[in-house]
Amino acid sequence: MYDIDKIRADFPILSREVNGKPLVYLDNGASAQKPQVVIDAISQAYAMEYANVHRGLHYLSNLATEKYEGVRQTIARFLGVKDAEEIVMNSGTTEGINLVAYGWAMPRMQAGDEIILSIAEHHANIVPWHFLRERQGVVLRWVDVDANGDLDPQAVIDAMGPKTKLVALSHMSNVLGTVFDVKPIIEAAHARGIAVLLDGSQAAVHMPVNIDDLGADFYAITGHKLYGPSGSGAIHIKRERMDEMRPFMGGGDMIRDVHRDQVTWNDPPMKFEAGTPGIVQQIGLGVALDYMMGVGMDRIAAHERDLTAYARTRLEGLNWLNLQGKSADKGAIFSFTMAGAAHAHDISTVLDKKGVAVRAGHHCAQPLMEHMGVNATARASFGMYNTRDEVDVLVDALELCHELFA
């Protein structure tokens, strides 16, 4: 049973008011709220358990190391990965993708080699590849989504050529909510000797993910969207890809020995984890993932499917609202513009007066905005604690906005 009242009670911020109205938090696609168990774990770690990891022999260091390394196991379990040593912990998806760009792609790619991207990528999965385009002459090949926001797997497969070295795609669009059918793309890429990176920032929040089944070479997640702290995250890297990679940053636990004329790297995953890590952030992430798994990812996904269907029906009933992306395979993310003079920022401001928090802007997806022919959208993104009643509050607030700007 999915006890939404109990789940909401676990998130203290949901009891507050904004502008004299109960908070309706619909900006989960940017960053999700934190349950009390995560807040308590962070407080406990700083107040009573803090020490640096891996380097000390004293009690607190051993305790912090045990808790920190336990998170690696938790992330592996959450992502359906058998080998926890294929998990590299970091500050989030952006760092994970940059690690792949600098550590794997840069030393392996030459001028004319190609990377395939969808037009729907977040900037975090675009900008690192532009570095390679600018500095090494790597070619970026783009595949468009259709009018519904779907990405045709065959279009991606058809874009693969003899110089394609990497396919880098979102698993779920942060703007449209579309869940991309990535498995046939991965299978086709591997048959051609091409590696695949997936940005799992959104997908891992909203549905069960089994990376061992998907088979992607790289899969990045970010903790602050997973009801955990900012500055936490991880990337799964297949063992054989790890063996092909050079270190991204130097210092700390990524070395085994350092001499005047020689450095010996540590074994993966430590080879890719330089410096003092975000110890407490990662501990908080582990607690957040345990919380989600305790509720059940299947149950969370089912709850959000119901919210998605209900929100779609209510929003499509507003004939002056332009919904972007109408895929049948869609998560609980809705981007929209409004007929008339209302800009996305105007929509967001009016909604905020009603206690409704949504995002407005290009959502770090400017190529997609250009493709859709808009400068910005407002985005309502739902999470595990949102309700049908909050969908109704959103719709009422949008109707008020329409009255003001029509």
**Active site residues per annotation:** 364
168: β partners: 117, 197
Cα separation, 160 vs 138, whole angstroms: 14
DSSP 8-state class, residue 339: S
Peptide linkage before 269 cis (omega within 30 of 0): yes
CA geometry: angle 217, 305, 396, nearest 5 deg: 125
- Nearest Cα to Cα of residue 120 among 154, 170, 157, 160: 170
Q: Which residue has the tokens 């997806």?
A: 365
- Nearest Cα to Cα of residue 165 among 124, 121, 132: 132
Judged by DSSP in three states, 250 sits in coil
Q: Which residue has the tokens 């984890």?
A: 273
- Name, in order, each residue with C-beta under 8 angstroms of 118's C-beta and a sequence gap of 6 or more: 142, 143, 144, 145, 151, 156, 169, 170, 180
Cα separation, 125 vs 123, whole angstroms: 5
Cα separation, 205 vs 227, whole angstroms: 9
